[in-house]
Amino acid sequence: MKRSFLVFTTFILMFSFLFSSCKSSDVIKPVDSLLSPPLYHEEYKSLVDAFHKEVSKNVFFCSPRKGDYRAAITIEDLDGDGEDEALIFYRDEVESSVARLHYFKLSDGEWVSRTDLNGYGNEIEKLMISDMDGDGNSELIVIWSVSGVSSSNIMSVYRASVNSYKELSNEACSVCELTDVDGDSNEELFYVNQTTSSGVVQRLARLVRLSGNSIVIMGETRMDPNISSYTSVKTEKASGDSPMKIYIDALKGESQMITELVYWDNSKSELCAPFLDADTMSNIETLRDNPIPSVDINNDGTIDIPIQGRLLGEEDSANKTYVISWVDYSGDAPVAVANSVINFEDNYMISLSNEEAENIKIINYRSQNCWVVCRVNPDGSQSELYSILNVPSDRWIEDDFKAYFPVLEYDNSVICAYITDNGIQSGVTEDYLKNRITKIPA
C-alpha cells in the first residue's frame, strides 16, 4: 500500500513546493535547519535521520514528474514480507549532477541502507513498480531525464537481489508503459526508442519481459520516424478475440497529429503496428491537420481515432475545417462511430450525424469568432441553419444577445448559439444544439 512520507498540515503546505522537482529552486538543504517544527512526520523521522547519516544532509530531494509515484520518498512493501522498504530520489548540491536512488529496508524497526544507485539524468520522469515475473519481489523501472531534453529519456530496470537492487538494463526511450499485453497476468514493459544508422532515423516499438535475471525482447515493430514528440499514451484491455491495444498520439511538426496503434498478436507472437505504410515508412492513415487526440468519443470503452475527412471550406483557406470521423479499430475492420467538426480557436466541437457530415458547410467569420453552419441543398445552394458565437464573459449580457442562448461556459468566455428560420424548419432546437455542441476532448 502506497503511503506518502509527507503530512500536509497548514504549515507544511507552505513548503510543499520544495518537493515538486529537482530544480535548484526546489532545494531542501538541509531540512532540519530550514523548518521548525520538523518537515517530516514523526513516523518517518528515523528514516530521514538514517538517510542523513548514510548519505548527507546537503542534498536536493527529487520527485518524479509523472506516474503514480510523485514523492521524493516512496514507502512500500516491495518484497512481500510484511515490512516496508523505502526509495529515496536525491541529487547533490550541483544542479547538473546526476540524480540517484537510495534503497532502505526496515529491519527490526530500524531503517537499514541497502543500495545506492547512480541514475542517468538530473531529473526523474517516472517511477514504476511491478512484480514483472510473479516471484513476490517488485522490480523498479525508473525513467531518468535530462533538463531541457524532451526527445528521449533513459529507462533503467532494477531487480531485487539479496535485500538489495541491481541494474538489469538501460535503454533510451521516448514512451514507456507497464502493461500485461499477452494476458499471462504478469506485466510486460512496452517502450518506444529511436535509432539512427547511416543518417537514417528509425523508431521502434518494443515489448520486453523479465526472464530470470535478464530482460528479453518479445517483439518489436517499426513506427513512423517523422514525428516531433509523443503527446499521450492510452491502453485498452483485451476483450474476446480483440488483443490489448496501445494508442500513441504523436505530433508531426507543430500541429499535425497521428495516432499509432500497437498491439500484441498472440496467434503470431509478434508486435504489430498496422498503420505504418511500408512504402513510405510513414503513418498517413491517421494523419490530421490539427492536434486532435484519440479518445473514447462515445463512452463504449473503446478508444476511437479521429480520421480527417471532407473539407468544409475553401482549399486555400488559412483556417480549414474538416469533418472528423471517429473510427473504432476493435474489430476486423475499422468502423466509424461518430462524426464531428472542431473549432480550435473557440474551443468547442459539434457532433454530426452521417447525413449531416455529408451535407453541411461551415462559414467561418474568424474576426467575429463566429461559425455559421449551412445545409448544402441538392441544387448546390446553401441554407443557413444556425450560428455559434464566442463571447467574452465580461461582455455576456443576455439582454444584449436576445436571439442567442448559452451552450457552453468557460472561465473567460460563453459559447452561444442562434437558430435561423431554416434551422427551425429543419428540426434544429435548443436542446438539439446543447447536446451536439460540446467541449473538445482532451
Q: Cα angle at 33 between 30 and 34, to 5 degrees?
A: 85
| Predicted local confidence at residue 19, as pLDDT | 38
| Predicted local confidence at residue 39, as pLDDT | 45
**313, HSE (Cβ side, Cα atoms, 13 Å):** 17
What is the model's pTM?
Answer: 0.82
Q: Which amino acid is at 365?
A: Y
| Predicted local confidence at residue 35, as pLDDT | 29
| Predicted local confidence at residue 231, as pLDDT | 93
Residues 6+ positions from 271 with CB-CB distance below 8 Å: 205, 206, 207, 218, 219, 220, 221, 262, 263, 264, 265
* Order of strands across the sheet that contains 270-272: 229-236, 245-252, 256-265, 270-272
For the chain, residues with pLDDT lower than 50 are: 1-21, 23-39
* Cis check: omega of the bond before 306, within 30 degrees of 0: no
| Predicted local confidence at residue 314, as pLDDT | 67
| Predicted local confidence at residue 317, as pLDDT | 64
Q: Compute the distance between CA of residue 364 and CA of residue 313 in angstroms, rounded to an integer.
A: 8
Burial of 297 (0-12, 13-18, 19+ CB in 10 A): buried
Is residue 318 classed as helix, strand or coil in its secondary structure? coil
Q: Compute the distance between CA of residue 348 and CA of residue 442 in angstroms, rounded to an integer.
A: 11
| Predicted local confidence at residue 316, as pLDDT | 62
Q: Compute the distance between CA of residue 11 and CA of residue 25 in angstroms, rounded to an integer.
A: 19
Q: Which amino acid is at 155?
A: M
| Predicted local confidence at residue 4, as pLDDT | 39
Please give the grid coordinates belonging to residue 40: 517530516
Helix (H) or strand (E) holding 50: helix 45-54
Q: Which amino acid is at 14?
A: M
Q: How many CB atoms lie within 10 A of CB 92?
A: 14
CB 27 within 8 A of CB 20: no
Cα–Cα distances in Å, from 308 out to 52, 73, 258, 296, 305? 57, 45, 10, 17, 10
Strand partners, 102: 88, 116
| Predicted local confidence at residue 38, as pLDDT | 38
| Predicted local confidence at residue 31, as pLDDT | 34
Q: Compute the distance between CA of residue 64 and CA of residue 168 in angstroms, rounded to an integer.
A: 21
Q: Compute the distance between CA of residue 347 and CA of residue 438 in angstroms, rounded to an integer.
A: 9
Give the length of the chain. Answer: 442
